[in-house]
Structure 1
Amino acid sequence: MSIRILLATAAVIALPGAALAQTTPSMSSTITLGFSSTSLDALGTGIDLTTTSLDVDSDISFGPSVNVGLDFGLSMTEIDTPLPIGIDADLMSFGFEPSYHFANGAYIGAYYRMGDLDISVSLLPITLGVDTQQSGIFAGYESGPLWVEVFYGTSDTDPGIGGIDITDYGLAASYDVMPNLEIFGSYTRTNIDFGGGDIDLSLYAIGADYDFGNGLSLYGSVGRLDVGLPLPISIDATQISLGLAYDLAQAGGGFPGVVALEVSSTNMDLGPITADATSVGLSLTIPLGNNASTTPLNSHSQVARGAYRSAISGGLAALR
Structure 2
Amino acid sequence: MSLKTNIFMGALFASMPLALCAQDAGGAFTLGYGASSVSGPAGDLSTLSLDGVGNIALNNSFNIGLYGSFRSVDENNTSDDLAASDFGFTLNYQFLNGVVLGGYLDYAKLDFGSFATDFDTTSYGGTVGYVTNTFGAEAFLGGTETSPDLAAGVDWVDYGLNLRYVVSPQARLGGHIMRSDISVPGGTDVEIDSYGIGGDYAFGNGWSGFGGLSYVDLGAAAVDATTFGVGVGYDLGQISRLPASVSLELSRTDISAPGADADVDTLRLSLTVPLGNRPSTTPLNSVARSAMAPRHNAVSTLLESAF
Asked if TM exceeds 0.5, the reply is yes
Whether the 8 Å CA contact 2:213–2:287 is kept in 1: the answer is: no
Cα distance, 1:315–1:182 mapped onto 2, change above 3 Å: same
SS at 1:45 equivalent = coil
For 2:204, the equivalent position in structure 1 comes to: 213
Post-superposition offset of 1:273: 2.5
2:45 counterpart residue number? 49
Aligned twin of 2:179: 189
Structure 1 residue 102 corresponds to structure 2 residue 92? no
What amino acid is the match of 2:31? L
Q: Distance in 2 between matches of 1:237 and 1:216?
A: 30
Return the match for 1:251 from 239, 264, 272: 239
Alpha carbon RMSD of aligned pairs, Å?
2.1
Q: Which residue number corresponds to residue 276 of structure 1?
A: 263
What's the counterpart of residue 77 of structure 1? 73
Contact map agreement 1:39 1:278 (CA 8 A) in 2: yes
CA offset at residue 109 of structure 1?
0.7
The equivalent residue for 2:38 is 40
Shift of 1:293: 5.7
**Is residue 64–residue 101 contact of structure 1 (8 Å, CA) maintained in 2?**
no
Match of 2:284 in 1: 297
Q: Distance in 2 between matches of 1:24 and 1:185?
A: 32
Matched, 1:91 2:80: no
Separation in 1, partners of 2:84, 2:205: 36
Q: Distance in 1 between matches of 2:171 and 2:156?
A: 36
Give, in whole Å, the separation in 1 of the partners of 2:46 and 2:65: 29
Which residue among 88, 109, 122 is the counterpart of 1:116?
109
CA shift in 2, pair 1:180/1:278, >3 Å: same
Distance of aligned partners of 1:264 and 1:240 in 2 relative to their CA distance in 1, 3 Å threshold: same
Structure 1 residues 151 and 292, CA gap change in structure 2 (3 angstroms): farther
Could you tell me which residue of structure 1 aligns to residue 218 of structure 2? 227
Q: 1: distance between equivalents of 2:68 and 2:214?
A: 24
Give 1:148's aligned residue.
Answer: 137
1:64, CA displacement in angstroms? 4.7
1:237 equivalent in structure 2: 225
Separation of aligned partners in 2, 1:227 and 1:111: 24
Corresponding residue of 1:3: none
Query: C-alpha displacement at 1:202, in angstroms?
Result: 1.1
Residue in structure 2 matching 1:173, options 145, 149, 163: 163
Cα deviation, residue 189, structure 1: 0.8
Mark the runs of 5 or more structure 1 residues left unpaired by the alignment: 1-16
Equivalences for residues 118-137 of structure 1 within 5 A: 118-121=111-114, 128-137=117-126
Letter in 2 for 1:131: D
Would the alpha carbon gap of residues 156 and 307 (structure 1) be closer, same or farther in structure 2, given more than 3 Å must change?
same
Aligned to 2:25: 27
In the alignment, the residues of structure 1 paired with residue 83 and residue 223 of structure 2 have an alpha-carbon distance, to the nearest angstrom, of 26
Which whole-Å CA distance do the structure 1 matches of 2:263 and 2:85 have between them?
A: 26
Specify every segment of 5 or more residues in structure 2 that has no aligned partner in the other structure, as ranges: 1-15
Return the alpha-carbon distance in structure 1 between the equivalents of residues 258 and 278 of structure 2: 45
Contact 1:186 1:303 in 2 (8 A): no
Q: Which amino acid counterpart does residue 127 of structure 2 have in structure 1?
A: F
1:291 and 1:167 map into 2 onto residues whose CA distance is 33
8 Å CA contact retained: 1:171, 1:306: no
Deviation at 1:176, TM superposition (A): 1.8
**Where in structure 1 do 4 or more consecutive aligned residues deviate above 6 Å?**
none
1:292 is displaced (CA, Å) by: 5.4
Contact 1:38 1:319 in 2 (8 A): no
Percent identity, please. Answer: 35
Q: Which amino acid aligns with 1:146?
A: F
CA drift of 1:279 comes to 0.9
Question: Which stretch of the first structure deviates more once superposed, 287-296 or 48-57?
Answer: 287-296
1:183 partner amino acid: L
Q: CA contact under 8 A between 2:231 and 2:247: conserved in structure 1?
A: yes
> Which secondary structure state, in structure 1, belongs to the residue aligned with residue 80 of structure 2?
strand
Do the aligned residues in 2 keep the contact of 1:112 with 1:135 (CA within 8 Å)? yes
Are the aligned partners of 1:91 and 1:118 in contact in 2 as well (CA < 8 Å)? yes
With over 3 angstroms needed to count, the CA separation of the structure-2 counterparts of 1:272 and 1:116, relative to structure 1, is closer
The residue matched to 2:237 in structure 1 has which SS?
helix
